[in-house]
Amino acid sequence: MRYYDKLIFELSHPGRTGYTLPESFCGEFAAETAIPDSLFRKAPLDLPEVSEVDVVRHYTNLSQMNFGVDTGFYPLGSCTMKYNPKINEEIASHPLFAGLHPLQPADTVKGAQEVIDGLDAALAAITGMKHFTFLPCAGAHGELTGLMLMREYHLARGDAARTKVIVPDSAHGTNPASAAVCGLEIVEVKSGVDGLVDVEALKPLLGPDIAGIMMTNPNTLGLFERQIGEIAKLVHECGGLLYYDGANMNPLLGKVRPGDMGFDIMHLNLHKTFSTPHGGGGPGSGPVGVGERVLEYLRIPRTSGFHGNFGVMLRAYAYILMLGKENVKLAGPLATLSANYIKESLKDAYKLPIPTVCKHEFVFDGLINDGAREGKAGASTLDVAKRLLDYGFHAPTIYFPLLFHQALMIEPTETESLETLDEFIAVMHKIAEEAAEDPDILHGAPHNAPIGRPDETTAARNPILKA
């Protein structure tokens, strides 16, 4: 073990400090500020005592044990982990934006309001919605907001019986979860063998109890729902609304608009499609857009926490303006090309359950030859994912969607070079060869990551969050 791999408590040395604080100025007010004895700590806090340089090295080393978009290729499906231009970070952290106070008088924040209005107009043009609210702080939060708007729409029309929402079996997990939180009952609609929503299976589900349907297009398998026009017609005819999950809008930018497909309500994940780095839990921004039908239910004001996660909005606006109308249209085709290139290059080694052209992402169902033989278990999708870490790539999304037992869901995005894609393809082939020769190499992976393979079930069920 290297010296700085130790816990910071192990680096502690009594009396060593990295700071000096000024004398407390509270002394003279001690009588007024007297804290009751009962509230005082009985023993000193057990904090590590280390010098400044030890602290810096501790955190820098920790940061290097992590994997991020800035360290390598991150093909996580249904997540859009792409490289985000650093200029957007610079703009978002500009003191004239970052220093705004939420309680400033409205007439001193006109510039910020102009950014929000400009972003609203740009997103409306991109999606075919009328207006957006910037209240929601993440995708799932947007889903909940959108579903509440859906409910409001029906209640205002005296249509209280509409308590069910249809969700395809390929949907992102947050869709049924948000519907449940909103108090709606979930009705699942099955996909056909082609991975698309089966219109014949949808028809019998439609009726006077249906509030609407939640969909994403391309769907979570990366496939374009070609019958969306027919689906929209059927749902509207039955009195329901269409909700669009636009968390991963890359493949459609500037090409196809959810509004034109017939969707009434949608959310975007600015922290996926519009250039805010995500992963690690935020901050995010999940603005909700509405079409004509629902416009009157959109609340005023349309920003939250005073102005929402404004830094995320700034990045999105800078990104859209910098690309411009023409270049924004390139993101989709490039993301689609990257995904199809990987899919076609690897289908000789990995099972491809749906062999059609995909959009921004696609799903393999494990290895064709997983090396299983008498007395030897084959390599699983988890094994492939762990082995990728040894070669310096982040793993794709695994075991999701639930339609396939060994799902390996790959989304390269539009920002990776051909060389990076080729390197990834070569490594995936190498891993397939290793599995065929000796799957134990994969069972034991990762071999050279900072930690080996934790027991994920125990870690999830009995998390030990302190040393």
The residues that touch ligand PLP, with contacts defined as CB under 6 A, are 78-79, 138-140, 172, 174, 216, 245, 247-248, 269, 284, 286
Side-chain half-sphere of 240: how many Cα atoms within 13 Å?
A: 27
Distance CA 411, CA 367 (A): 18
If the CB atoms of residues 92 and 367 are measured against ligand PLP, the closer one turns out to be 92
Type of residue at 75: P
Sheet holding 210-215, edge to edge: 131-133, 288-290, 265-268, 241-246, 210-215, 164-168, 185-189
Nearer to ligand PLP, 216 or 380 (CB): 216
Cβ at position 297, least distance to ligand PLP in Å: 22
Judged by beta carbon, residue 269 or residue 406, the one nearer ligand PLP is 269
Task: HSE, CB side, 13 Å, CA atoms: give it for residue 90.
Answer: 3
Nearest residue to ligand PLP on Cβ basis:
139
Closest contact distance (angstroms) between CB of 451 and ligand PLP is 25
Among 343, 362, 365, smallest CA distance to 421 is for 343
Residue closer to ligand PLP by CB (options 250, 380) is 250
Contact call for residues 118 and 318 (beta carbons, < 8 A):
no
- Token pair, residue 432, equals 């397939």
Q: Give the residue with the Cβ less far from ligand PLP, 116 or 138.
A: 138
Residue 115 C-beta: closest distance to ligand PLP, Å: 21
Q: How far is the CB of 139 from ligand PLP (least distance, A)?
A: 2
Nearest approach, Cβ of residue 337 and ligand PLP (Å) = 20
- Shortest Å, Cβ 112 to ligand PLP: 23
Q: Are 397 and 79 spatial neighbours (Cβ–Cβ below 8 Å)?
A: yes
- Residue 172 or 359 having the CB closest to ligand PLP: 172
* Dihedral angle sign, alpha carbons of residues 99, 104, 109, 115: positive
Which residues lie across from 213 on neighbouring strands? 166, 242
Q: What is the DSSP letter of 350?
A: B
